[in-house]
Amino acid sequence: MARATAKKVKSRKRLTGDERRESILEAALGCFLEKGYIATTINDIREASGATTGSIYHFFDGKGALALALLEDAVAGWSGEAKAASDTAEAVVKASAGGLVSWGLKNPELFRFMDEIRTLAVTAPEFAGIADTLAEGQGSAATAYTRFVKARKVKDLPWAVAHSMILGPAYNYLRLATTGRARVAAKRAQELIADAAWASVKA
Amino acid sequence: MARATAKKVKSRKRLTGDERRESILEAALGCFLEKGYIATTINDIREASGATTGSIYHFFDGKGALALALLEDAVAGWSGEAKAASDTAEAVVKASAGGLVSWGLKNPELFRFMDEIRTLAVTAPEFAGIADTLAEGQGSAATAYTRFVKARKVKDLPWAVAHSMILGPAYNYLRLATTGRARVAAKRAQELIADAAWASVKA
DNA sequence: CGTTGGACTAGAATATAGTTCTAGATCATG
DNA sequence: CATGATCTAGAACTATATTCTAGTCCAACG
């Protein structure tokens, strides 16, 4: 069982089994993407990573914490994809919707995983915090929208409604696409949805 | 413990503990709506209904079957609300989007429950069948849309995309609203979303 | 009436999964 | 080379869904 690491330590403090930690994360991601969060057991992760129960719980608080750690990376990846080239209202709106679609089509299992956790978060206390971080709630987006409203670039819609018009179709489309119920060329879908998003909110 | 029933029997066949069955369904719905599917235990249902484990499993194949039975009613309620008064393209599209919003705002827990099951269905085999029945896949809607396309009433979009434009925002809005993240008067949100849906697809 | 068979009720037993715990191994440091 | 923090082991514990074995009840039939 892989005698584990001991990395370069500088000062006088600890040296963690970083590789072990990584291998656990990696194995967990594999399992979650393949079978979903609920269906994945700690045992699956144990076997896939070669770590023992003890190690897993040494590094992470539990299955939920593991998912949370992975989710943060996922969201980061998506946010990156949704960054607009310029900051005109049109570019921002289209990048939000189009970026989500494009990211989701490139990482279908990741999207499904994210969607699963988001849903569970509604009732599972261990995911409580993530709900806002996720899809919805990106506070900055709301303020950006307000700014565009003031500049009369977009319609003066309540943020929840604007959010729904911009991201709702993208989200919905990905849900269909990632469960094999959409037959459209990816590129075309992305364009259609980004354009529609802009059309729905432009002033 | 409620001696249970014995209803009117006609021919020569059995007479079921219908009341017991109903009480179990009722209790299960209460629990699912209150705590969500995952968080609800058989024990919760047992206590809430007064039935024993044996009875519950006598009438239902398990937790999943219970959820499925309840879900069918839920979907029926929603479908009812989404029926259009006339069958012009505009009326149908607006009724689909607006009806979903209006139904969801009236039955927020039911919407959350439906959304939870839909998400679980992606990976849980016991819910496999429901995925199509649910939100997406209403086959008839797809053909209706095709008909409107032929009549040049709506844009010639791939169904997955059209579906996303019509129902995506409604779904998204309900997700925000039912988790307390939307501050808009219900009536106004419903109108905005229904109008936007029509604007997105009209020819 | 009494028996009988199916419907229903009980609740203990079982299986599976997440989590906790106690013991021990490893190793940089003094 | 003793020490203490870190990490590894895996057994034990807990909670939950489900199955099983006995019943109990009752309508119909003789």
Closest CA to B40 of B29, B56, B53, B51: B29
**Which of B34, B93, B123 should one mutate to test binding to chain A, selecting the residue with the greatest count of A CBs within 10 A?**
B123
Does the distance separating the beta carbons of A184 and B173 come in below 8 Å? no
Reduced 3-state DSSP string for A24-79: HHHHHHHHHHHHCCCCCCHHHHHHHHCCCHHHHHHHCCCHHHHHHHHHHHHHHHHH
d(CA B175, CA B170): 9
The residues with which B154 forms a beta bridge, in sequence order, are B202
Residues 93-132 of chain A sitting with CB below 7 angstroms of strand C: none
Question: Residue A198 region, left (φ>0) first, then alpha (ψ -120 to 50), else beta?
Answer: alpha
What is the distance in angstroms between the Cα of A47 and the nearest Cα belonging to chain B?
21
pLDDT band at A6 (very low <50, low <70, confident <90, very high): very low
Residue-wise DSSP of A87-119: -SHHHHHHHHHHHHHHHHHH-HHHHHHHHHHHH
Does the distance separating the beta carbons of B172 and A167 come in below 8 Å? yes
**Which of B105, B165, B167, B171 should one mutate to test binding to chain A, selecting the residue with the greatest count of A CBs within 10 A?**
B165
pLDDT tens string A138-166: 667 888 899 999 999 999 999 999 999 99
pLDDT band at A41 (very low <50, low <70, confident <90, very high): very high
pLDDT surpasses 90 at A65:
yes
C1' of D26 to CA of A50 (Å): 59
pLDDT one digit per residue (tens) for chain B, 203 residues: 333 333 333 222 344 668 889 999 999 999 999 999 999 999 999 999 999 999 999 999 999 999 999 998 888 888 888 888 889 999 999 999 999 999 999 999 999 999 999 999 999 988 987 877 775 546 678 888 999 999 999 999 999 999 999 999 999 999 999 988 888 898 999 999 999 999 999 99
Chain B residue nearest residue A164, CA to CA: B169
Does the distance separating the beta carbons of B165 and A196 come in below 8 Å? yes
Q: Are A24 and A45 in contact (CB under 8 A)?
A: yes
Q: What is the pTM of this model?
A: 0.89
The residues with which B202 forms a beta bridge, in sequence order, are B154
pLDDT band at A4 (very low <50, low <70, confident <90, very high): very low
Does the distance separating the beta carbons of B183 and A123 come in below 8 Å? no
What is the distance in angstroms between the Cα of A55 and the nearest Cα belonging to chain B?
27
d(CA A149, CA A142): 11
How many Cβ atoms sit within 10 Å of the Cβ of residue A103?
Answer: 20
CA dihedral of residues B183, A173, B82, B181 (deg, nearest 10): -10
Q: Are A93 and A197 in contact (CB under 8 A)?
A: yes
Closest CA to B29 of B60, B58, B3: B60
Q: Between B29 and A182, whose confidence is greater? A: B29
Does the distance separating the beta carbons of A39 and B192 come in below 8 Å? no
Question: On the CB side of A22, how many CA atoms lie within 13 Å of its CA?
Answer: 6
> Measured between beta carbons, which residues in chain B are less than 8 angstroms from residue A173?
160-161, 164, 168
For residue B175 the two structure tokens come to 């997700």
